[in-house]
Chain A
Amino acid sequence: MENAWIIPLFPLLSFLFLLLFGKRFKESSAYVGMLLTFASLVYSLLVLFERFSSPTYKQEGVWLTIGDVQLTAGFEVNQLNALMLVIVSLVSFLVHTYSKGYMHGEERFPVFYAYLGLFTFAMLGLVLSPNLLQTYFFWELVGVGSFLLIGFYFYKDEAKAAAKKAFIMTRIGDVGLLIGMILLFWQVGSFEYDAIFAAVAAGEVAQGMITLTAILIFIGAVGKSGQFPLHTWLPDAMEGPTPVSALIHAATMVAAGVYLVAALFPLFTASDVALTTIAVIGAITAIFAASIGLVQTDIKRVLAYSTVSQLGYMMLALGSAGYVAGVFHLMTHAFFKALLFLAAGSVIHAVHTQNIEEMGGLWKKLRVTGPLFLIGTLAISGVPLFSGFFSKDEILIAAWEGGHPILFLLAVIAAFFTAFYMFRLFFMVFTGKSRSEMKNVHESPSLMTLPMIVLAVLAVVSGYVNTPWFGTFLGDWLVEGNEALGHGHVEGPAWIMIVATVVSLAGIYLSWLIYGKKSLSRNWLGAQTLYKVLYNKYYIDEFYSMTIVKVTKGFSHFLRYIDTYLVEGIVLGVTAFVQTLGRLGAKLQTGQVQTYSAVAFIGLAILMVIFALTGGYL
């Protein structure tokens, strides 16, 4: 555990190495990336197992001394960090492996692996950070990595726009995080998590200030995790290569927001207002994104909205003081969502389209991907015995115990929607008859299916580390030695589990009736307007471009006029003045020596006259 700092350095090494020598390695640069991330994974697992039996390890060194303030840098291995290390490095390794098959034939293959390395480094560094400042560094580095990866196909205009959008939208959130961070530093005098928690617990910070900083930091998480007002970048980010979607939208970048809230949980629990804000935003996001997911036709976009929705779930759990539920769902979601994205990538790889209207009947053609996708779908839908079931159950209990009946209701409806649209996706892609000409539909190479199989196993079994039936090992371990995080397991009413099961099965059944058996009309929504509103994602993008973008553009036009006419006018005036002066001076230089000497003589004469008139005294 003393050497945990080396974990992020493996991907960094991969990044630097491939940046320098990638061109020479061509496609075998994948092995460099795979090997180094595998080293990270092994080391992360070792750290996790060591952490089971030993206390939190923290090591820091003084980085800067400014006056009396010492800024430190180091790393910390607590329960949450150790868990995140394993999740991130595992998914990253699997994505590295998968990409070897998926990106085959790509011209900029080594660059892709270099970017993957950078991104993994940033994320692993983020989860090891023991203070806010360091977190912020890696936080921004994650943003850079995602920008590069989403915009990987930079020759496509959509990808370029999506990369910029992702970067700008998350930056808006980051401003909140930065301000919150500075305010906390001003109040506490330290960026250290421990120092902040101690100060908050000792009541050294005013209640209003705690609420303010907590909400500001949460805004950072909102941007990164695609929560409601800033969620629009996430579906657009699907323009990146599919393995990237699996990495960014399942285990890493979007999880960073949830991780941040979890890491600063003692701060948030000190303010009821902040917690309620998180819960409300989470619940709104969950139901809002799920309802959009109902009608989307792009396979990756459906998954993107389901990611937004599931992240909303996690925020809801954290906001309802369900620390364990949130982190638990973060873990299970990382596995099954990565599985779903990779499986979707495998489907896209096979049929070369992302439109589910054009797919269908792929079950027989994709004998491996199909069942794997089904496992992921079952897990995310919360079908009993799959991992999603247990974590979603925890969240529902947390929401119920948190005392927000409306939020609980929203969560249940969102669960119903989730089951419905995920199975809509499954039925439309894998059952029925192919709705368009499909040539050369073939199963993906084993290099791509193996990572999916690993994830599928985890999507099934990862729920069993924390169940009401076989013990709440994960929950107890996560909160061990830290009362501020709440209880390892919250006993909820038994009917919640039944409700969750019934709701998800009902969603699946309805979906089967419409898209499987086709006994119900597909125009079940009836009202065309509602369908249109959902299909156009509540016109949020349009709303933003009508308001914020327009205002900003108008303002920048105004500034441009100031620049062209005022600033540039002054600059031009100065140059014109100097040039005129120079031209006048040049005119004096006639080359006529006689003129020069005449002028010199006249000058001398004038001087002499002055000299004579003043009598030698001047």
Chain B
Amino acid sequence: MSGVPASAFLSLALILFCIGLYGALTKRNTVIVLVSIELMLNAVNINLVTFSKYGMMPNITGQVFALFAMSVAAAEAAVGLAILFALYRNKKSVNIDEMDAMKN
């Protein structure tokens, strides 16, 4: 583990984040958008863990924080999916283009 440089972890996190961002901004299916957001969150988690190990002052805080972020993300995914269900019941669609109630 120690043989892998920090930049590799950070690059992985960057790639994950970019994929997540791309998905969140371009996909039409709301479920995919939610999944992409999870990807971005996980990219952040990788960053947190990386810096808790290779940072200026390595300590356990970053890993604890990553655990917190995961549990919050789980809760968020649950709430997000619930909202999506409610929307689906109303609109009979999960297409994000049709969710424009805030227009104008």
Binding site for B on A (CB under 8 A): 586-587, 589-594, 597-598, 601
Contact = CB atoms under 8 A, between A and B. Distances in A.
Contacts of B104: 586-587, 589, 591
A597 B24 contact: yes
B26 A591 contact: no
B24 A594 contact: yes
B24 A591 contact: no
B8 interface: no
Interface in B4-56: 21, 24-26, 33
A66 to B, nearest CB: 58
Can you list the 10 inter-chain pairs with the closest CB atoms, starting with the nearest? A591-B100, A591-B103, A591-B102, A598-B25, A586-B104, A589-B104, A594-B25, A592-B100, A590-B103, A597-B25
Nearest to A592: B100
B18 to A, nearest CB: 11
Could you say which of A589, A593, A597, A601 has the most chain B C-beta atoms within 10 Å of its C-beta?
A593
A594 B96 contact: yes
A334 to B, nearest CB: 76
Nearest to A588: B104
Given A592-B97, A593-B96, A594-B96, A601 B103 contact: no
A590 B100 contact: yes
Contacts of B103: 589-591
Contacts of A592: 96-97, 100
B101 interface: yes
B79 interface: no
A587 B103 CA distance: 9
Contacts of B72: none
B97 A601 contact: no
A106 to B, nearest CB: 62
Given A591-B101, A591-B103, A594-B96, 12 more contacts: A586-B104, A587-B104, A589-B104, A590-B103, A591-B99, A591-B102, A593-B99, A594-B25, A594-B33, A597-B25, A598-B25, A601-B25
A591 B104 CA distance: 7
Interface string B60-104: 000000000000000000000000000000000000110111111
A184 B100 CA distance: 76
B24 A589 contact: no
A432 B103 CA distance: 92
Interface residues of B, number: 13
Nearest to B28: A594
A65 to B, nearest CB: 61
Contacts, number: 29
B29 to A, nearest CB: 12
B79 to A, nearest CB: 16
Contacts of A597: 24-25
Contacts of A594: 24-26, 33, 96
A598 B102 CA distance: 16
Contacts of A593: 96, 99, 102
A585 to B, nearest CB: 10
23 contacts: A586-B104, A587-B104, A589-B102, A589-B103, A590-B103, A591-B99, A591-B100, A591-B101, A591-B102, A591-B104, A592-B96, A592-B97, A593-B96, A593-B102, A594-B24, A594-B25, A594-B26, A594-B33, A594-B96, A597-B24, A597-B25, A598-B25, A601-B25
Contact of B21 (A587, A589, A591, A601): A601
A591 B96 CA distance: 10
Nearest to B27: A594
A600 to B, nearest CB: 10
A116 B96 CA distance: 79
A593 B100 CA distance: 8
- For B21, B26, B100, the residue with the greatest tally of chain A CB atoms inside 10 Å of its CB is B100
A146 B21 CA distance: 84
Nearest to A597: B25
Contacts of B99: 591, 593
A594 B100 CA distance: 10
A608 to B, nearest CB: 13
A396 to B, nearest CB: 89
B40 to A, nearest CB: 11
A586 B104 CA distance: 5
A596 to B, nearest CB: 9
A470 B21 CA distance: 120
Contacts of B101: 591
A499 B9 CA distance: 132
Contacts of B21: 601
B73 to A, nearest CB: 18
Q: Give the residue among B21, B26, B97, B104 with the most A Cβ atoms within 10 A.
A: B104
Contacts of B100: 590-592
A394 B99 CA distance: 101
Nearest to B102: A591
Contacts of A591: 99-104
A417 B102 CA distance: 89
A572 B103 CA distance: 28
Nearest to B26: A594
A586 B101 CA distance: 14
A169 B15 CA distance: 90
Contacts of A589: 102-104
A592 B99 CA distance: 7
A597 B101 CA distance: 16
A495 B93 CA distance: 119
A79 to B, nearest CB: 81
A148 B24 CA distance: 78
Nearest to A585: B104
B10 to A, nearest CB: 16
Nearest to B103: A591
Contacts of A601: 21, 25
Contacts of B24: 594, 597
A370 B21 CA distance: 110
B22 to A, nearest CB: 10
